Structure 1
Amino acid sequence: MTSCENPNVDKDVLMTRRQKFDGKTKVCVKCKENTGNIVIRYAVYCKSCFFPLIQTRFRKSLEPSINATPDGPRRKGLKAAGSLVVAFSGGTSSTALLDLVAKTYFAPRENDEHARGGKEHPRNLDKQIWKGKPIVCYVDVSGAFPEEESRTENMRAVVDGYPGSPFEFLPLKLEDAFDKSWWAQTKGGDLSELGQSLGLDISDEAFYAAIKTLIRVLLLNTAAGRGASHLLLGTSLTSLSVNLISGIAQGAGFSVAEEANEEWVPRPSRGLTIRVLRPLRDIGMKECAMWDWWCGLRLVGSPRKYVHGGGRNSIGTLTRDFIFGLESDYPATVSTVARTCAKLTPKEGSDGICVMCERPAQHGVQDWKSSISIRSYHEASSAVTGRTRPPHLTEEEIANLVKASPDSSSTPVPSLTPRLCYACHTTLTSRSSRGTTVLPSGQSLHAVPAPVWVRNAVAPDVKPLSRDSMKAQISEFLLDDD
């Protein structure tokens, strides 16, 4: 057969798509006996070999980080310092994670009740790894979407459906981030504050980025309140690559290392350091979907538009389509993206912790933002009547920006700007391209509800000093009574 291609072109330059398998060998590469049912990174596996393969990758990613002092590749008895919290959203990867945790570490063993064995026996290695009953935490985001219905009861049915009821189901709401009572105990918050905070005239990308930040910190603080040492997230290899690339594109490159491996310290000190683990980081989305399908698991998560959103041309959507295309055509490239991004480290040290996302904040964010953007108006006349007025601001908004508050001279208002990382600052200051919206009654541009952990970090720590404390501060300047 003749071909019309240019014979002088190098074959490697054309980057022709490699076949998922050679087409001749359809036998499983593991057992060498059964006919293959799934292709994973150019290798064919049968259904019988698929399950131990996924469980091995799952345990290999999770177990080295369980002990307080990691043992490395050599496995001894696993014993965590605290309890376990599993984040559950009802999606493909999250459902696979919950099923893997239940079948690997909390499956009922009726036949082994009277069996004996030493503490190093494989039968006893997986018993009582974490303290107490594991908690499955679900964050309901229906409060941010008026047309979305609550799926809490559906999530509860999935969690309670495992034999022996090994998990405790703990539902949260997105509005709990603005509830003062949640700081000490999980309760329902005020929905109006959630609407005021997320209903501002910000871009769709910032809207969904803010929701992801609220969900993450809600889970972390809940885990800290329950004395947990590990928080498991159902982030697959595909989702991890999407999060890494989209995070860098939206200004979160300084904390890209925390996206793959993170140890979170509660502020104020309220317990153990929490390790945020992603046991599915070596398992692709396709493998998670096949696990759910072959195990007959029920997916009860929200539709994709409520999870990702942002529009067809948003950074998150474009990145997701790009990574999904790579996984379909070049499966090995997705793992390369994740491994490469995990090796990135910032050139400079951290300048503290961001009060919004509670991740390391880079140095000089405020100086950088002031050099590339206009954030204040010192002359009202040029702002209102001149040609420099931004088109998305109304006359009333500019007047409010330059008008001094009557209480500004007496009571200084703490500023969030020096305490935010670049990504959170960009999220909170982004403006929608749809134009200016009408603010709700009783809300101003200067009074936006903030999450509870932000208020706790920004609130001025002013306490009356006792006479003994004041005397101790000036003791070196005082003469002896003698």
Structure 2
Amino acid sequence: MSSCENPNVDKDALMPRRQKFDGKTKICVRCKENTGNVVIRYSVYCKTCFFPLVQTRFRKSLEPSINATPDGPRKKALKAVGSLVIGLSGGTCSTAMLDLVAKSYFAPKNEPTGKLKGGKDHPRNSDKGVWKGKAGISYVEVCGAFPGEKDRTEDIRAVVESYSNSNFEFLPLRLEDSFDSNWWKSVGGDLSTSAQSLARLDLHLVNSSSESSPLQALRTYLSSLPTQTAFYSAVQMLVRLLLLHTSASRDASHLLLGTSLTSLSVNLISGIAQGSGYQVTEEGKEEWNPRPEHGMPLRIVRPLRDVGMKECTIWDWWCKLKIVGEPRSLYSGGKNAIGALTRDFIFGLESDYPATVSTVARTCAKLTPKEGSDEICALCERPAQHGVQAWKSRISIRSYQEVSSAVSGNTRPPHLTEEEITNLTKSSLDITPTSDHPFSLTPLLCYACHTLLTSRSSRGLAASLPQGQSTGDVPLPLWVRSSADMAISAHSHESVPLAVKMSRREMEKEISEFLLSDE
């Protein structure tokens, strides 16, 4: 049970909790005729009225974004400019979303009487769909990140094939595809990358080797992350990018995700706690622009953002839908990650105070950054705040690997010269890339991704890496090099202003002509 109360206060002095159901109102608030079957946010609904209620909220969230001009006239016919991809995890909410999409937009037009409906469902429009081509249903198998876990690909395939009349196309993916050159080429990419020593403050791009398999590369990358929070955030980010690039390769205009109101609140609070407050708008409404030659702008829509997890569960139960997915965060110590802790808190909050979860999502939806930015993070491919590197250097405590303990009273480590400290503060973007000085990845990351890769932890990095793997060559997803090269060539490093500390010798050289001689 979630509670923010003071345990030392007398229970009798506290305001009594509002009851979810007073026991008196048993009639459905919608039809006012039938006896209610379920209580949703203090309101009673019967089974007959429950289904149109959820469908109305679902369509209200989805349909304004279907046409090329969003939020256009409601009477205008729905016609997307591209195809549709549905992200399916097999969980409660994504299963309900798939069923809603199938019944709302891909169900046979015939009524039980055998007659076709009129209006937009007239026989002359029976072959005209909202989206072009077949709808793709993409599932990302993540068992590679959780050794010993079951591969659920075939279970998900069976769920998709159960909608035989909808003519869906199943698109299976694996988490290790993020490091698979064959998959990257199939979606239009051809480059790869590694990061040199993720434990250091400055990250560098170097060419990755093809000696390790995609699965080994995935596990090396995840093992190099310093915290459990970073581990599960990285898995979530890889799933998202796999879905985005796969959708772009199919000329899709819309990607639907089964994020419910409850899950949206979890993602918002968890994201802010991990440093992605600048990207809070993208959690609710996002439009992703792939490289110009690799597809049209892709709208990521969460049509269940006004439907709670309780409603999704009831929909699945009454429609007798099979749930094949389980939250992976419950394994391998994931209960201590920020995402899992936030999830437990929001779930308890929804159980005790249902209206509060809706308030969290609506409040976060009103948040916008003070300043816009045209910079894109090379790792998560979301908007990156301008000047993050300079800002973080002012608020962060720098650590030096050579120092075994802090030395009080010293402004710098005593064994480092002025020139060595200056080299530590210089960015490799200002240096011609060589084998000794590769391009810096740090200025191309958003604050959340840089924190994800460099957070400090009591867990030793070298101990967590696979045997024979050093900290000097940790692979990164294949799209990072492409994103970094595009940003570097497009802006010529001008979009990343850097403050470089000069040594005393360099400062003296710059102002030497203005100095008076000692004589």
> How far did 1:312 drift?
3.6
2: CA distance, partners of 1:116 / 1:290: 29
**Cα contact 2:232–2:334 (8 A) shared by 1:** no
Identity %: 67
Alignment partner, residue 467 of structure 1? none
1:291 aligns with 2:292: no
Matches within 5 A, 1:233-244: 233-244=257-268
Alignment partner, residue 372 of structure 1? 395
**Per-residue displacement from partner, 1:151-210 (whole Å, max 9, x unpaired)?**
0000000000113252100000001111122123269x7211111111115100000000
2: CA distance, partners of 1:52 / 1:107: 16
Single out whichever of 42-51 and 159-168 deviates more from structure 2: 159-168
1: CA distance, partners of 2:374 / 2:397: 23
SS at match of 2:283: helix
> How far did 1:138 drift?
0.2
2: CA distance, partners of 1:366 / 1:352: 13
**Cα contact 1:108–1:163 (8 A) shared by 2:** no
Matches within 5 A, 1:332-411: 332-350=355-373, 352-375=375-398, 377=400, 383-384=402-403, 387=406
1: CA distance, partners of 2:72 / 2:78: 12
Alignment partner, residue 149 of structure 2? 148
2: CA distance, partners of 1:323 / 1:433: 28
1:424 aligns with 2:425: no
Single out whichever of 18-27 and 206-215 deviates more from structure 2: 18-27
Q: CA 1:36 to 1:113, structure 2 compared with 1: closer, same or farther past 3 Å?
A: closer
> How far did 1:441 drift?
4.9
1: CA distance, partners of 2:120 / 2:159: 33
Alignment partner, residue 181 of structure 2? 180
Alignment partner, residue 85 of structure 1? 85
Alignment partner, residue 54 of structure 2? 54
**Cα contact 1:242–1:320 (8 A) shared by 2:** yes
Alignment partner, residue 466 of structure 2? 440
Alignment partner, residue 196 of structure 2? none
Alignment partner, residue 452 of structure 1? 478
Q: TM-score normalised to the size of structure 2? A: 0.77
Aligned residue-pair number: 432
> How far did 1:436 drift?
4.2
Alignment partner, residue 27 of structure 2? 27
> How far did 1:347 drift?
1.3
Matches within 5 A, 1:166-245: 166-185=167-186, 190-245=214-269
SS at match of 2:460: coil
Q: CA 1:409 to 1:81, structure 2 compared with 1: closer, same or farther past 3 Å?
A: closer
**Cα contact 1:354–1:421 (8 A) shared by 2:** yes
SS at match of 2:224: coil
**Cα contact 1:353–1:360 (8 A) shared by 2:** yes
2: CA distance, partners of 1:62 / 1:408: 46
Which of 238, 246, 259 is 2:283 aligned to? 259
Q: CA 1:408 to 1:67, structure 2 compared with 1: closer, same or farther past 3 Å?
A: closer
**Cα contact 2:329–2:340 (8 A) shared by 1:** no
> How far did 1:293 drift?
0.5
Q: CA 1:310 to 1:345, structure 2 compared with 1: closer, same or farther past 3 Å?
A: farther
RMSD: 3.0
Alignment partner, residue 496 of structure 2? none
Alignment partner, residue 36 of structure 1? 36
* Runs of 5+ consecutive residues of structure 1 not aligned to the other structure: 1-8, 390-400, 463-482
> How far did 1:332 drift?
1.3
1:415 aligns with 2:440: yes
* Runs of 5+ consecutive residues of structure 2 not aligned to the other structure: 1-8, 189-212, 409-422, 425-431, 490-519
Alignment partner, residue 477 of structure 1? none
**Cα contact 1:262–1:276 (8 A) shared by 2:** yes
**Cα contact 1:105–1:126 (8 A) shared by 2:** no
Amino acid in the other structure paired with 2:16: T
1: CA distance, partners of 2:369 / 2:470: 37
Amino acid in the other structure paired with 1:81: V
> How far did 1:414 drift?
1.2
Amino acid in the other structure paired with 2:177: D
Alignment partner, residue 103 of structure 2? 103
**Per-residue displacement from partner, 1:407-435 (whole Å, max 9, x unpaired)?**
98665311110000000001011243333
Alignment partner, residue 319 of structure 1? 342
Q: TM-score normalised to the size of structure 1? A: 0.82
1: CA distance, partners of 2:336 / 2:117: 60
